Structure 1
Amino acid sequence: MLLPLLRPLDADADREFRVDLFPPASLETVGAVRRLLRDMLTATGADPDGPCLILSELLANALLHGAGAPSVALELRCGRLYIAVTDGSPAPPARPEPDVARTCGRGLDLVAALADDWGVELIGVCGKAVWAVAAVDR
């Protein structure tokens, strides 16, 4: 089951939402998390297509190549969506060499093309967070 932890907006008037998710380590959760983000962005009047694709790629990579159950943080602030997906593997994600014949392994290329910025932060020996920032169109 997907249980979002909705955080109060405090005094930060620029933040429209922040959600921390702790989905099970199953590829079936990618669609559920993507639908949640789509619904939240649609409710704010934002176009969900690009951000949902970024989230799907980051979460699927964490589940396929990471370790343990992932966590997801989503925050919409000042027209920019901040996405972070963590997993228990300290190994950074690998981007294969460009190859037009390749039928898989293009997820990070999509993230790089759609996000305004993205990167990886190591969390000591406990894993990593792969993050992306994308402007949302309204």
Structure 2
Amino acid sequence: MLIATGVDPDGPCLILSELLANALLHGAGAPGVALELRCGRLCVAVTDRSTTAPTGPEPDVARTCGRGLDLVAALADDWGVELIGVCGKAVRAVAAVDR
């Protein structure tokens, strides 16, 4: 989808892979993915059935894993977690995209 619309896919694909990896490793049930490209902004949302919000580990320059949310925060203009009642949560990120 991104390449077909002329968008550089590197940043958005990294955001998606990090959010999806977190849902698979720490969430519950099969994750869902939604992508929306509108007015030069891409919204990525990954849902799962856990109501536990993701948290990153304490800052440590020596750690070799657990940097996914740091990457999402660095690449996205905005990101956050929205609870979906008792049905789970959506972790979303919004990033401007270059064409």
* TM category, shorter: over 0.9
Q: Deviations 1:52-88 (Å, cap 9, x if unpaired)?
A: 0000000010000000001111000001001110000
- Could you say which residue in structure 2 is the equivalent of 1:77? 38
Sequence identity of aligned pairs in percent? 88
Structure 2 length normalisation: TM-score? Answer: 0.98
Q: Which residue identity does 1:45 align to in structure 2?
A: G
What amino acid is aligned across from residue 135 of structure 1 in structure 2? A
Match of 2:23 among 55, 62, 79: 62
Query: Please, which runs of 5 or more residues in structure 1 have no aligned partner?
Result: 1-39
**1:124: how far off?**
1.3
**CA shift for structure 1 position 126:** 1.3
TM-score scaled by length of structure 1: 0.71
Structure 2 gaps, min length 5: none
Match of 1:111 among 64, 67, 72: 72
- 2:51 equivalent in structure 1: 90
State the 4+ residue runs in structure 1 displaced beyond 6 angstroms.
none
**Residue 132 of structure 1 aligns with which residue?**
93
Measured in 2, the distance between the counterparts of 1:66 and 1:74 equals: 19
Structure 2 counterpart SS, 1:68: coil
Deviation, 1:94, is 1.1
Higher relative contact order (CA 8 A, sep 6+): 2
The residue type equivalent to 1:133 in the other structure is: V
RMSD of Structure 2 on Structure 1 (CA): 0.6
